[in-house]
Amino acid sequence: MAYIDDPETQRANLSFIKASMREPLLTRDHEFDLARKWREAGDERALHELVRAYTRLVVATAARFRNYGLPMGDLVQEGNVGLMQAASRFEPDREVRFSTYAAWWIRSAMQDYILRNWSIVRTGTTAAQKSLFFNLRRLRARIESITQGNSGGGNGLTKEGREWIAGELQVDVTEVEAMEMRLSASDQSLNSPVADGSDEDWQDFLADQRPSPEEVVIGMRDSRTRSQWLAEALGELSPRERTIIQERRLREEGATLEQLGRELGVSKERVRQLEHRALLKLRQSMLKRVEGFGDLLADA
């Protein structure tokens, strides 16, 4: 259902539309002359004249998207942003009419606005999803008109209909099915009751995936125990082995073999050998304290 503005907003929109339609059309030569003045000399008067002449294009594009349930005035404003972006990037030397170039920017700005505001859930994050969002209704209407003409119509898309749309838009059938479900649903608050007169909200049926208080306490206790075991195992290493493990394994950015070799006065290969021997000692020391290797691992 389309958004219905209040009377005051409707009058303001109508006034803007009338003013846009009164702006004179530009000849090709005058249009290019204005674009060059703005691009080469920064002439703001030329920019304003160029933009005002094509606000009618913004209004026409907004009218095409008015059935997405968003305010017409907001669509026009977003289209004006796209129009200004087109004016800032337009290159008259390419010999392309400004209206042709600006149409893409205007449409893109409005489509981005619709995708951001049509639902509180992000819709159309990929090119395929955007294409489906803006074309599914049109293609579904075409299928339904043919179906109604042949057999009296039906409810929803058939498997063949989804496959045809997927082929037309070059997307997967699963994406067509997902978008069909998304467009047929509406946003609903989790705080709303499950039924009229009910004291239960939809959020009451959502499972809490976070750890329980008991699991949190057990995890903290196990973590402290493992830390104690590690500290005791490190205490069994020689000072040089302990330094290597601390610098190589217990820091966010561990030291290189070369750095430790210079610090300890040995070669990189000797540091590697000492590190390997220290890790074996740690493993043996830790395994003495547990029943199985799994006890050393934190729960996922």
pLDDT digits (tens, 9 = 90+) for 76-106: 999 999 999 999 889 888 888 999 999 999 9
Where does 152-267 have alpha helices with state H?
159-169, 173-184, 213-235, 239-249, 257-264
Give, in degrees to the nearest 5, the angle at Cα 250 between 245 and 256. Answer: 65
CATH of domain 7-117: 1.20.120.1810
- Contact in structure between 110 and 82 (CB atoms under 8 Å): yes
Residues of the chain with CATH 1.20.120.1810: 7-117
Q: Is the pLDDT of residue 109 over 60?
A: yes
Q: Over the stretch 116-129, which tens digit does the pLDDT of each residue have?
A: 877 655 555 667 66
Residues near 178 by Cβ (< 8 Å), separated by ≥ 6?
Answer: none
Residue that has been written with the tokens 């030569």 in this structure:
29
CATH of domain 213-296: 1.10.10.10
Task: Write out the H or E segment, with its range, that includes residue 285.
Answer: helix 268-287
Q: What is the mean pLDDT of the chain?
A: 81
- How many Cα atoms occupy the beta-carbon half-sphere of 279 within 13 Å? 9
How far apart are alpha carbons 261 and 245 in whole angstroms?
A: 13
Q: Over the stretch 210-244, which tens digit does the pLDDT of each residue have?
A: 888 888 888 788 888 888 888 888 888 999 999 99
pLDDT of residue 119: 63
Q: Over the stretch 140-187, which tens digit does the pLDDT of each residue have?
A: 767 766 655 554 444 567 778 778 888 877 887 877 777 776 666 555
Q: Is the pLDDT of residue 135 over 50?
A: yes
Beta bridge partners of 193: 201
Residues of the chain with CATH 1.10.10.10: 213-296
